[in-house]
Each structure stands twice: as C-alpha cells, then as structure tokens.
Chains A and B, each alone.
Chain A
C-alpha cells in the first residue's frame, strides 16, 4: 500500500514538473487530466483499510469531472485554436523545470518544519511528508503556471493544478472534506472551466489567438476571465 501511495504521489510530482516543461497545450491538458485522476483516487489510498461507499462514489465523480469532463471541455475548446503551442513563456521551460524541482525541495523543507504527526492521514513519516510536499508544491506549480504563461488555456490549467493541490492539502488535514462542500467546489470548477472555454473561444475568434496579453487593450473581457478563476479559488480557500 505504501508502494502505491508513494507511487501515486511521485507520479503527481512528476506530472507537475512535466507540465512545467512542456509547451504543447494538448500534452498539458493530458497531464492535467492524469494528475486530476490520480488526485481524486488518492484519498481512497490514504484511508485504505476503512473505505466508505460514499467516498468511493465521490472519488468516482471527482475522477469523472477532473479526469475526463474538464480536460475534455478544454480539449474541445482548443481544437479550433490556431496555435496550440505556447511559444514564448515569460520564464523559459528549462528554468521552469528547475524551479519545479526547487518547489518540491522547498515544500519538503516546509513539511519537515511543521509538526504533522497528529494529523489523521499519517501512515508513515515518508508518505505524510511526501503528501504534504506534493500538495504544497502542486499549489506552487499551479500559481507559477498562472503567472508565467501567456495563453489563456495554460492559465486555466494552472488554476486546475492549484485546485488539485488544495484538494490534496484538504486530504492531509481532515482526511476528507464534507462531501457537500467538495461537490460544490467541483461544480464551481466545472462552471469556471466552461465559462473559461467560452471566453477562450471568444478571444480566439476576436484575435485569432488565445494569448491573454492581447487582452490588455480590452481590459473589460480580460478582467472577466480573471474574476472567474479568482472566485473559484477563493471558495476553495474558504473550504480549507
């Protein structure tokens, strides 16, 4: 079981770094889909001997939304995008990968400073620290993507990755959050992505590109997309 937990966590870490390093939007979406699936299964692994039927059902719903519906929507919305490659990020890919490694190390440092041993989901020191480090570094990676990429789709993905991290953090702190809250967050996320998809298509139609730097001229639509992602995020925070 520890093998499986460690495997899942390190796969999530790897996917985060791969996401930082790849320029093709389709690959990014696939990465986020796989990471979302892994993240939604993870709480089951950590509560392994006693798994409630409700949590299995919830994990299944979570997996469906995070692993299939949201990436599917994003995939659908970039089909018509003319340029599915992030050409010039603010911070280059190699440096991003190295920064990703630094994030992991930083998160480990933080997790070793905190006293996590009284938390419910703590089978061993290794998995507990690793889970915390994964959560923190996933949030960092999401924020980093949000900050350093121009394409609207990558920013949405950064937001999704950040949500993954927050979900993991919730897994550590309380085992699992109340289902109603999680479902609400999920719905929020879905709606946010849908709206982002519409915004994305509109940007693409207007500018023939999904580069958000083009929105500077039209601050109206730019702030709208920003508001959507921010509102979803703040609800997540309240749940924590």
Chain B
C-alpha cells in the first residue's frame, strides 16, 4: 500500500520531467539542443509565483475549473495500475468511474472556456467536445473488449489479468492494435500534433490551447500540471498494456513470479525492481514516440481528425474480432 503510494507520488512528481522528453525528442530530431529537462518545473514555479488576473465577465466556475480538473486527474491516477502492480483504489465498475472523472474535468474546463464569453474559446470548446466524444467511442470499445475477456469491471484487472487472457487467447496482434488505438487516443486527448498543435499561435486553429487563453498565474500552472498528469495517465495505460506478462518476466531468474491479485487494497505483492524499470522504460519510449510522431508529421486539417480517430476505431474492432473466439 505504502509502496504504491510512494511510487505514485514519484511518478506524479516526475511527470513534468517526462513531459519534457517530448520536446527534447523533437529538438533532437531537428538537430537542436532543446529545453533543459527541468524546464517544466521552472515554468510551473514561475507560474505559481505570479498573481492571478481574472476577467470581469467570469463566474465562479472559471475559478474552480482548474482545481476540479486537477483533483479529478489525481483521483484517476489512484486507480491506475503501475506496471503489473495493483492500484491504490479499486472497486467494481471503476472503469466507468475513471472515464467519467476524466470527462468531468474536461467538462469543467469546457464550461470555463465558454464562461469567458470569448468566441474563440467557444469554438475551441466545441472542437474539444466533438473530438473527445469520438475518442470516447474508441475507449469504450476497448474496455468492452476487455470486459468480454475478463468479465470484470476493474481497470486493474484489465491490465493485469486481461492481458494474460489476451496473451493466452490469441496472439500478439490484438495487443499491438489496442496499443496503437490507445496511442491515437493519447494524441487526441492530450492535444498533441496530428490532432492539435500545442505550439500554435493562431487562435482560429487551436483546440485545447484556446480554451485556456484567459487563465494566468497559478491557475495556468495547475492546468499545465494537469495536462502533464493526463499525458502520464494515458502513457501509463499503454505501457501497462505493453508490459511483458509475468511468465515472460520470470524467465529472468532474480524476479519471482508475481501472483496476480485484484480487489480492494490487496497489495501484498513485492514489486520486483526490474519490473518497475521495464515499466518506466516503456513509459519513456511512449513519450519518445510522441515526440517522433510530432516531428515527423504536421497536424491534420480539422476535417481529417475524425478519420484519424475512426482508423483507431477500426483497429479496436479488428482486435475485438481477433479475440472473439479462438
């Protein structure tokens, strides 16, 4: 229990550092030096030291939205299994809870964006809601598939037992497909390049960035931190899926075969140190891949984004077909 709490705290603390990997990768690929790894911390500290300026037209929703978003994502992270280790919290049906928590945070950000009365922000909000509605179909199809495999509604069981079942049932291919689909969702939900450009300076083309134009100071810092944590959440989902199963891991003689546990607060598993290293390595490579994708392609036209999401839907459907029976 304690172990997981500490681990989670460590990951929360290093998530800005992980986020910097993306820009470092992008800089490396174009032959630049890039920002220092601690850059995001400097930004956060700078922002937290500043004063807040609010527009006169806003309602209290605008002020509470970043806090609600941050607390939603923090709560979500407690349900996240970290590399074959069961999470801090878990109950029957938590998958739905987690994804509605994420949506709750998003809804408040959208409301705050609309609250400012700026037409640019309203436009960004409409896009954000549209695209995440598309992404939700894919996510829910993924979890329906996992539910079919495991007959359980806990997120942790999907990534611990569900993966074992996936491995035993079919082949490696469904896992690859689902990882790619999840990666598309990661790009979509975190407003990364093929969907949205975080570095854009034109309000007309922004999706996510335009919603937070009116935020300043600590509020902006909270929003940055939230998006870094959100990135970590999705990257960790992918790394959980790609983690080698226990049978593979136990080939290495030092590592004991880990019993698969699920249910509330059942954590008497000693996390082998090497598993954590594997998990972190996969996590970092997910970030690196995001950077590579960003530097190798431009962003899509807005009308092409639904097609991008649809292609991940196709992948999930194929994975479902492959695991249907066999």
Residues of A within 8 A of B (CB): 2-3, 6-7, 10, 13-14, 17-18, 21, 93-94, 97-98, 100-101, 104-105, 108, 124-126, 129-130, 133
B194 to chain A, nearest CB (A): 15
- Once the chains bind, are B322 and A10 in contact (CB under 8 Å)? yes
Among the stretches B165-173, B206-214, B228-236, B239-247, the one at the interface with A is B165-173
B177 at the interface (CB under 8 A from A): yes
Which residues in chain B, 151-199, are within 8 Å of chain A measured between CB atoms? 170-173, 177
Rounded to whole Å, the gap between the CB of B89 and the closest CB of chain A is 35
Q: How far is the CB of A92 from chain B (nearest CB, A)?
A: 10
- Number of residues from B at the complex interface, CB < 8 A: 19
Nearest chain A CB to B148's CB is how many angstroms away? Answer: 15
CB contacts (< 8 Å) of B68 on chain A: these are none
Given the contacts A6-B173, A10-B173, A124-B326, A104 and B321 also touching, CB distance less than 8 Å: yes
Binding site of A, secondary structure by majority: helix, strand, loop or mixed? helix
Residues of A within 8 A of B172 (CB): 3
For A129, the chain B residues whose CB sits under 8 A away are 325-326
Of the listed stretches B4-12, B113-121, B292-300, B310-318, chain A binds: B310-318
Q: What are the residues of chain A within 8 A of B310 when measuring CB–CB?
A: 21, 94, 97-98
A sample of 8 more A-B contacts (CB under 8 A), given A10-B318, A104-B321, is: A6-B171, A10-B173, A17-B314, A93-B307, A101-B314, A104-B317, A108-B324, A126-B325
Q: Which residues of B contact A (CB under 8 A)?
A: 170-173, 177, 306-307, 310-311, 313-315, 317-318, 321-322, 324-326
Using known A-B contacts A10-B322, A17-B314, A101-B314, determine if residue A126 contacts B170 with beta carbons closer than 8 Å: yes
Listed A/B pairs (16) with beta-carbon separation below 8 Å: A6-B173, A10-B177, A10-B318, A13-B318, A94-B306, A94-B307, A100-B314, A101-B314, A104-B317, A104-B318, A105-B317, A108-B321, A108-B324, A124-B326, A125-B325, A125-B326
**Would you list the 8 A-B pairs with minimal beta carbon distance, nearest first?**
A126-B326, A3-B171, A17-B314, A97-B310, A6-B171, A10-B318, A7-B173, A101-B317
The residue in chain B whose Cβ has the minimal distance to the Cβ of A125 is B326
Which residues of A are found within 8 Å of B315, using beta-carbon distances? 14
Q: Write the chain A residue with the least CB distance to B323.
A: A126
Q: How far is the CB of A123 from chain B (nearest CB, A)?
A: 11
- Counting chain B CB atoms within 10 Å of each CB, the highest count among A14, A93, A126 belongs to A126
Shortest Cβ distance from residue A10 to the other chain B in the assembled complex, whole angstroms: 5
Give A179 to B313 CA distance when docked, in angstroms: 39
Residues of chain B within 8 A (CB-CB) of A6 are: 170-171, 173, 322
User: Quick check: A130 and B171 within 8 Å, CB to CB?
Assistant: no
Tell me the complex Cα distance, A6–B177, Å. 12
Chain B residues whose C-beta falls within 8 Å of the C-beta of A2 in the assembled complex: 171
In the bound complex, CA of A3 to CA of B171 (Å): 6
**A2 CA / B174 CA spacing, docked (Å):** 13
Given known pairs A6-B173, A93-B307, the reply for A14 and B314 (CB within 8 Å) is: yes
Contacting residues, chain B, for A18 (C-beta < 8 A): 311
B307, B314, B322: most-surrounded residue (chain A CB, <10 A): B314
The residue in chain B whose Cβ has the minimal distance to the Cβ of A2 is B171
**Smallest distance from the beta carbon of B18 to chain A beta carbons, Å?**
30
Cα distance, A124 to B171, chains bound together (Å): 13
CA–CA, A3 to B317, complex, Å? 18
> Are B311 and A3 in touch, CB under 8 angstroms?
no
Q: Given A94-B307, A97-B310, A98-B310, verify A14-B171 contact (CB < 8 Å).
A: no
Q: Find chain B residues with CB under 8 A from A7 CB.
A: 171, 173
Bound Cα distance A129, B310 (Å)? 24
Q: How far is the CB of A199 from chain B (nearest CB, A)?
A: 31
Beta-carbon nearest neighbor of A20 in chain B: B314
Q: Is the CB of B173 within 8 A of A3?
A: yes
> Could you say which residues of chain B place their CB within 8 Å of the CB of A3?
171-173
Return chain A residues, CB-CB under 8 Å to B321: 104-105, 108, 130, 133
The residue in chain A whose Cβ has the minimal distance to the Cβ of B320 is A105
Q: Which B residues touch A97, using CB under 8 A?
A: 307, 310-311, 314
| Residues of chain A with a CB closer than 8 A to B170's CB | 6, 126
Which residue of B is nearest A124, CB measured?
B326
